[in-house]
Amino acid sequence: MIGRKGYISVFALIVMSILMLIISYLVTTTNMEGIILIHTRNNIQSNYLSEGKIQMVLYDKYYGEDFLPLLFGALRENKSATMDIILDNEDLDEYDSISNVTISLNKNSRMEFELRSESDYRGVKTILNASGPLINDFFEMGNPILNPSTIDNTLEEDFYNLLNKIYDEINLGHNDLPTTTYGGQFSNFEKIVLNQVSNHNYYLFGYRETMVEPYIEHIDKNNIVLIIKKYGDDEIDLFLGDEGEIDSPLELNGLIFVEGNITIFNKLNFNGIIILKDGDILVKSNERPKINGLIISSNDFNVEDLQITYDNKMIYKYGTYLPDFIDPKLLLFKNY
């Protein structure tokens, strides 16, 4: 009987030991699952915060205030530098103190942007990279002329939408001009003449039938943004150069927008973008004008009198003054 009791005691101890091991395993497993669950939740939240920072820069508060100005500066200076946007503390989670989003530009077949965002949520750090093309597709087609004849039929609607956007919204207030760039916007003349008298030395004359004397403005900058809209219902004419000196050189860099016609008298070498609304380009010089960049027009025009070369550097530099030129498309997220 005593032996039987001893056997039961030993068996009970074994059972209790096994139960304790099982309980200990269950407790440990439960704790581990809890830790894993918390870490997973924190990791998801950290990823969410990193993505939210990119969304704020690309589509929300920081797009117009920080993102665009940084891009404008880089494109105008032909730089591919890395730049930081610092988010306000009010836009950060209370458990995340990393406030910078890094922007970089890369030129491959197209100009591409990359945004790098970091978050550290309750000790869980995530790094998120987002990238995609930066420039509106039409400006990177490689075609020096954009008009109804050069646009594929499938793109006509988008092309005219872009034209209308430019026609309706182009103005000098679109963004700040660098100190090295002249800006002129006119809608009160019937004719404007732009002459070059020496290097970085130009005169602009504005004429209207009711004026006794022309409007005269001296320009001492080599880069120009010239926006000329029609006076009333009549189209306006822009004359580049002096009719009496058709063999004189004329060097211009910038963006020219005209609701009307452009007549070229001098040996023009233009670097930049020319946009015509309901107008034509008439060449009166002895030599064919050289256009390095892009011509955009709502009409077809005679291109045989022009030497036109697609130049993306000039397009990137002066396209920054156009609405919808910057058109970022987010194509790829990478998590590190």
Question: Based on the domain organization, do 41 and 125 belong to the same domain?
Answer: yes
Question: Based on the domain organization, do 129 and 149 belong to the same domain?
Answer: no
Find the mean pLDDT for residues 100-128.
Answer: 90
Instruction: Please report the pLDDT score of residue 135 as a whole number.
Output: 96
pLDDT beyond 70 at 110: yes
Question: Based on the domain organization, do 246 and 274 belong to the same domain?
Answer: yes
Kindly report, residue by residue over 171-219, the tens digit of the pLDDT. Answer: 987 667 888 899 999 999 999 999 998 888 999 999 998 888 999 999 9
User: From CA 39, how far away is CA 293, in angstroms rounded?
Assistant: 53
Q: Is residue 332 one of the residues assigned to a domain?
A: no
Q: Give the domain-ending residue among 134, 162, 192.
A: 134
Q: Band of the pLDDT at 6, cuts 50, 70, 90?
A: low
Q: Is residue 327 one of the residues assigned to a domain?
A: no
Question: Based on the domain organization, do 171 and 261 belong to the same domain?
Answer: yes
Kindly report, residue by residue over 254-273, the tens digit of the pLDDT. Answer: 999 999 999 999 999 999 99
DSSP alpha helices (H): ranges in 82-184? 156-169
Find the mean pLDDT for residues 30-40.
Answer: 59
Instruction: Please report the pLDDT score of residue 23 as a whole number.
Output: 67
Q: Give the domain-ending residue among 100, 134, 168.
A: 134
Instruction: Please report the pLDDT score of residue 36 as a whole number.
Output: 56
CB contact set of 31 (below 8 Å; sequence gap of 6+): none
Degrees (nearest 5) of the Cα angle 223, 224, 228?
170
User: From CA 186, how far away is CA 204, in angstroms rounded?
Assistant: 11
Question: Based on the domain organization, do 172 and 24 belong to the same domain?
Answer: no
Question: Based on the domain organization, do 161 and 299 belong to the same domain?
Answer: yes
Q: Is residue 331 one of the residues assigned to a domain?
A: no
Question: Based on the domain organization, do 203 and 126 belong to the same domain?
Answer: no
Kindly report, residue by residue over 288-325, the tens digit of the pLDDT. Answer: 999 999 999 998 888 888 999 999 999 999 999 999 99
State the chain's mean pLDDT as an integer: 87
Q: How far is CA 228 from CA 134, 160, 239, in A?
A: 28, 20, 12
Q: Which tokens in the block code for residue 108?
A: 């491959």
Kindly report, residue by residue over 155-175, the tens digit of the pLDDT. Answer: 999 999 999 999 999 998 766
High-pLDDT (> 90) share of the chain, %: 55
Among 127-131, 173-177, 221-225, where is mean pLDDT lowest? Answer: 173-177
User: From CA 158, how far away is CA 141, in angstroms rounded?
Assistant: 14
pLDDT beyond 90 at 1: no
Is 264 in contact with 244 (CB distance < 8 Å)? Answer: no
**Residue 46's domain spans which residues?**
1-134
Q: How far is CA 213 from CA 98, 207, 216, 246, in A?
A: 61, 8, 9, 25
Q: Is residue 165 one of the residues assigned to a domain?
A: yes
Find the mean pLDDT for residues 19-44.
Answer: 64
Enter the pTM of the model. Answer: 0.85
Say whether 99 sits in a helix, a strand or coil.
coil
Q: E strands, the chain, where?
A: 82-86, 100-107, 111-121, 124-133, 145-146, 181-186, 191-198, 201-207, 215-219, 223-228, 236-240, 249-258, 260-264, 267-276, 281-283, 290-297, 307-310, 332-335
Question: Based on the domain organization, do 113 and 47 belong to the same domain?
Answer: yes
Question: Based on the domain organization, do 102 and 130 belong to the same domain?
Answer: yes
User: From CA 194, how far away is CA 242, in angstroms rounded?
Assistant: 8
Instruction: Please report the pLDDT score of residue 215 as a whole number.
Output: 95
Q: Give the domain-ending residue among 116, 134, 152.
A: 134
Question: Based on the domain organization, do 120 and 174 belong to the same domain?
Answer: no
Q: Is residue 336 one of the residues assigned to a domain?
A: no
Q: Band of the pLDDT at 9, cuts 50, 70, 90?
A: low
Question: Based on the domain organization, do 98 and 186 belong to the same domain?
Answer: no
Q: Is residue 334 one of the residues assigned to a domain?
A: no
Instruction: Please report the pLDDT score of residue 7 as a whole number.
Output: 56
User: From CA 61, how far away is CA 85, in angstroms rounded?
Assistant: 12
Instruction: Give me the torsion for CA of 104, 107, 113, 116, rounded to 10°.
Output: -40
Is 79 in contact with 317 (CB distance < 8 Å)? Answer: no
Find the mean pLDDT for residues 22-37.
Answer: 60
User: From CA 307, how far away is CA 253, in angstroms rounded?
Assistant: 16
Q: Band of the pLDDT at 25, cuts 50, 70, 90?
A: low
Q: Is residue 11 one of the residues assigned to a domain?
A: yes
Q: How far is CA 169 from CA 108, 156, 262, 304, in A?
A: 30, 20, 21, 31
Instruction: Say how many domains are in the chain.
Output: 2
Total residues belonging to the chain: 336
Q: Is residue 128 one of the residues assigned to a domain?
A: yes
Find the mean pLDDT for residues 43-66.
Answer: 88
Question: Based on the domain organization, do 95 and 154 belong to the same domain?
Answer: no
Q: Which tokens in the block code for residue 35?
A: 């830790």
Instruction: Please report the pLDDT score of residue 119 as a whole number.
Output: 92
Query: Does the CA dihedral 75-80-81-82 come out positive or negative?
Result: positive
